[in-house]
């Protein structure tokens, strides 16, 4: 590491975290991907096409919006980075546009991806359609059942969706299955990982494809105020929107806060481990078997966290706190009623943190990344609040 | 012990058969270890179940899930092994997190105390394994290295330079599982690696029957690892005599090759 959130060395380490723990059959592929990304990311033509696609297709830059009524309620100045307004409704599009362009540059004709709630799967299916690539998305059987609308969206976009029936049949098993299938299809297939996780170069590459969030927010904030914010806050599952946001502010005095779900807090409750190609924090039992995460937001239901977050935590550059499902439900309603924005349950974790820490934040200025919109979660929210008949989502 | 034992077999002209057994998938799994030894195994690979077996196909996943559902842990497996001794070397296969979680010094000590001679850790590649290898070596535990059909020759030589026990040639670009037809890569990797090492060279992943085993030794390998083809029969509830017949058939095919 040359600097905090700089480029990692050839082994892909962030302090003691990260690395490249993959079977020998995958090693040549991740090594090839590392050099392809390094080359592409330093090529102005690649950068220009990535940027132009984000602008013309995905609707960037997204707005940095001063949420006045929420600010009044909290007694602080709250600026929302509106990733919910990006095409497909979340920040996931930034990463998949980058990886799809890279896949095409590497001569790959097919994308595979894992998905939990379906947001990354939908984004991957979207990018595949845009660039004329095939797409196959692996999704735990449990998630297929509880996110049926997103499954249909992916199919509508021309992607194949495979329900994963192994293990706990959720996101972590979808990652395993995507890796298994990648081994057998290296020639024509790029594995489009959806967060800042997995073997090097993924944690770094995905952060770089998401840093547009933080870079935009920083210059938008500076243009509006002539300064930098006191706090920068984002939700963390694997941690891609937080990593992208933090990257824009890590060299400012801003305090960085990642908000984890209490039921899936790999930084908060996890211990050091090596799974899914990386050394990081994971929820585990006393023997090192990986536990499932459980929160109201399927997008944060991942038992691990990106290795760079583990490092930012270890060196004290970012703070990681937790909020529970009830706080998240309150936060969704608060934002809806004060600002007319129905955000994703994932993003509501960041809002819930503001509420919990209201006293600490009084009179300060805060940039909050609103990672996605809440349309996908309306049914879950309604059930939890008792507006719909039916079983509660676990 | 592992390497020495397999080298002796190799020098005597015997082809090497290493069946894979998932520890704890059945309460009586140690009998299966005995059965494969009686049926002609030269070493036994014993899997310790892990929650996220990213290199394994459906059969070994299922066997691991059964074991985990029975409450099997790394320590329960090792304490069962401690109660027994076997006439052939024992090689443990599992994923790195279980050893990382124990702490590598403790893991190596526990493995050695359980009579384990070697380990196969598929998600611990060359670059990440230096600390593990040093600790294992200091206690006489041999760490088997894998080479794959897409590993460059330059990289093959780097891997061979640290290899111990035997060289595990990945026969198929896939996760573990049976194949109706032997992958072309299975014979190709045997031919490709053979001139580069004097270590025993075994091919695994996608070796499902005697004919396939014979084909890879004819291409230059010293033997085979057979996992899913055996475990599928175990999961189907085949009788000990049926399982013994299956292993003996591969034994015979290797002996005749």
Each residue's pLDDT tens digit, B150-192: 999 999 999 999 999 999 999 999 999 999 999 999 999 999 9
Architecture of the domain whose range is A61-90+211-385: 3-Layer(aba) Sandwich (3.40)
- B241 in reach of chain A (CB within 8 A): no
User: Whole-structure pTM over 0.90, yes or no?
Assistant: yes
End-to-end CA distance of chain B: 26
CA distance B255 to A34: 45
The beta strands (E) that lie in A126-277 are given as 134-140, 160-164, 189-191, 231-235, 255-261, 271-275
Q: What residues of A act catalytically? A: 92, 114, 371
Q: Using the beta-carbon criterion (under 8 Å), do B173 and A272 form an inter-chain contact?
A: no
Q: Using the beta-carbon criterion (under 8 Å), do B58 and A166 form an inter-chain contact?
A: yes
| All structural domains of chain B | 2-252 (3.20.20.70)
pLDDT at A367 (0 to 100)? 98
Q: How much is the average pLDDT of A334-359?
A: 98
To the query of whether residue B117 is one of the catalytic residues in this protein, the response is no
Q: Using the beta-carbon criterion (under 8 Å), do A24 and B151 form an inter-chain contact?
A: yes
Q: CATH topology for A13-53+92-202?
A: Rossmann fold (3.40.50)
Backbone angles phi, psi at B135, to 5 degrees: -65, -45
Domain definitions of chain A by residue range: 13-53+92-202, 61-90+211-385
* Residue of B50, B76, B19, B29 whose CA lies nearest to A166: B50
Domains A13-53+92-202 and A61-90+211-385 share a fold: yes
Q: Using the beta-carbon criterion (under 8 Å), do B151 and A28 form an inter-chain contact?
A: yes
For chain A, give the number of residues. Answer: 394
The closest CB to that of A186, out of B50, B150, B170, belongs to: B150
- B158 in reach of chain A (CB within 8 A): no
- B154 in reach of chain A (CB within 8 A): no
Maximum CA extent, chain A: 56
Contacts of A289 in chain B (CB under 8 A): 50-51, 68, 98
- How distant is the Cα of A272 from the closest Cα of chain B, in angstroms? 8
pLDDT tens digits along A192-250: 999 999 999 999 999 999 999 999 999 999 999 999 999 999 999 999 999 999 999 99
Question: What strand order describes the sheet that includes A231-235?
Answer: A64-66, A77-82, A365-370, A231-235, A255-261, A318-323
Chain A 288-307, CB below 8 Å of chain B: which residues? Answer: 288-290
pLDDT tens digits along A146-195: 888 899 999 999 999 999 999 889 899 999 999 999 999 999 999 999 99
Measured at the alpha carbon of residue B126, what is the angle toward residues B123 and B132, in degrees to the nearest 5? 75
- B173 in reach of chain A (CB within 8 A): yes
ipTM of the complex: 0.96
Judged against a pLDDT cut of 90, whether residue A282 lies above it is answered with yes
For chain B, give the number of residues. Answer: 257
């Amino acid at each position: 590491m040359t600097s905090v959130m700089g480029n990692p060395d050839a082994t892909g380490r962030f302090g003691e975290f990260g690395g490249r723990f993959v079977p020998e059959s995958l090693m040549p592929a991740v090594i090839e991907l590392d050099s392809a990304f390094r080359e592409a990311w330093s090529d102005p033509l690649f950068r220009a096409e990535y940027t132009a696609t984000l602008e013309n297709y995905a609707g960037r830059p997204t707005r940095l919006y001063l949420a006045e009524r929420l600010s009044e309620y909290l007694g602080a100045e709250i600026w929302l980075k509106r990733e919910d307004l990006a095409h497909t409704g979340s920040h996931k599009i930034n990463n998949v546009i980058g990886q799809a362009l890279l896949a095409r540059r590497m001569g790959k004709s097919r994308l595979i991806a894992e998905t939990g709630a379906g947001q990354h799967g939908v984004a991957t299916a979207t990018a595949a359609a845009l660039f004329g690539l095939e797409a196959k998305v692996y999704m735990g059987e449990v998630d297929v059942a509880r996110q049926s609308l997103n499954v249909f969206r992916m199919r509508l976009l021309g992607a194949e969706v495979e329900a994963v029936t192994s293990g706990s049949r959720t996101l972590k098993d979808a990652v395993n299955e995507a890796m298994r299938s990648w081994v057998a299809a290296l020639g024509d297939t790029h594995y489009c990982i959806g967060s800042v996780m997995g073997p090097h170069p993924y944690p770094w590459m995905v952060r770089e494809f998401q840093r547009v969030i933080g870079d935009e927010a920083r210059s938008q904030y500076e243009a509006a105020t002539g300064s930098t914010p006191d706090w920068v806050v984002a939700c963390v599952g694997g941690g891609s929107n937080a990593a992208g946001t933090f990257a824009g502010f890590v060299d400012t005095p801003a305090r960085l806060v990642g908000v984890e779900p209490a039921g899936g807090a790999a930084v908060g409750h996890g211990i050091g481990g090596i799974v899914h190609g990386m050394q990081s924090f994971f929820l585990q039992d006393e023997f090192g078997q990986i536990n499932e995460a459980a929160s109201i937001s399927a997008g944060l239901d991942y038992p691990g966290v990106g290795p760079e977050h583990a490092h930012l935590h270890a060196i004290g550059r970012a703070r990681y706190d937790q909020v529970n499902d009830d706080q998240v439900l309150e936060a969704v309603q608060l934002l809806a009623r004060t600002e007319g924005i129905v955000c994703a349950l994932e993003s509501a974790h960041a809002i819930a943190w503001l509420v919990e820490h209201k006293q600490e934040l009084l009179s300060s200025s805060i940039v909050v990344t609103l990672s996605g919109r809440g349309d996908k979660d309306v049914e879950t929210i309604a059930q939890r609040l008792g507006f719909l008949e039916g079983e509660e989502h676990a | 012990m592992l390497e020495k034992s397999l080298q002796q077999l190799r020098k005597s002209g015997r082809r090497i058969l290493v069946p894979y057994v998932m520890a704890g998938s059945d309460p009586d799994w140690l009998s299966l270890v005995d059965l494969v030894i009686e049926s002609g195994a030269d070493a036994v690979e014993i899997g310790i179940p892990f929650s996220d077996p990213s290199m394994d196909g459906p059969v070994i996943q299922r066997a691991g899930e059964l074991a985990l559902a029975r409450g099997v842990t790394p320590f329960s497996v090792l304490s069962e092994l401690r109660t027994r001794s076997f006439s052939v070397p024992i090689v443990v296969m599992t994923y790195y997190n279980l050893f990382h979680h124990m702490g590598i010094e403790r893991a190596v000590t526990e493995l050695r105390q359980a009579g384990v001679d070697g380990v196969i850790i598929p998600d611990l590649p060359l670059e990440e394994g230096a600390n593990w290898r040093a600790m294992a070596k200091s206690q006489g535990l041999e760490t088997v290295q894998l080479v794959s059909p897409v590993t460059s020759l330059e990289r093959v030589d780097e891997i061979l330079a640290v290899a111990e026990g035997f060289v595990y040639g990945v026969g198929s670009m896939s996760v573990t599982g049976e194949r109706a037809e032997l992958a072309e890569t299975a014979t190709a990797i045997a031919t490709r690696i053979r001139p580069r090492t004097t270590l025993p060279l075994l091919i695994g992943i996608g070796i499902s029957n005697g004919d396939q085993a014979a084909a890879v030794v004819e291409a230059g390998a010293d033997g085979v690892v057979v996992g899913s083809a055996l475990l599928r029969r175990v999961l189907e509830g085949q009788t000990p005599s049926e399982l013994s017949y299956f292993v003996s058939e591969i034994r015979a095919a290797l002996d005749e090759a």
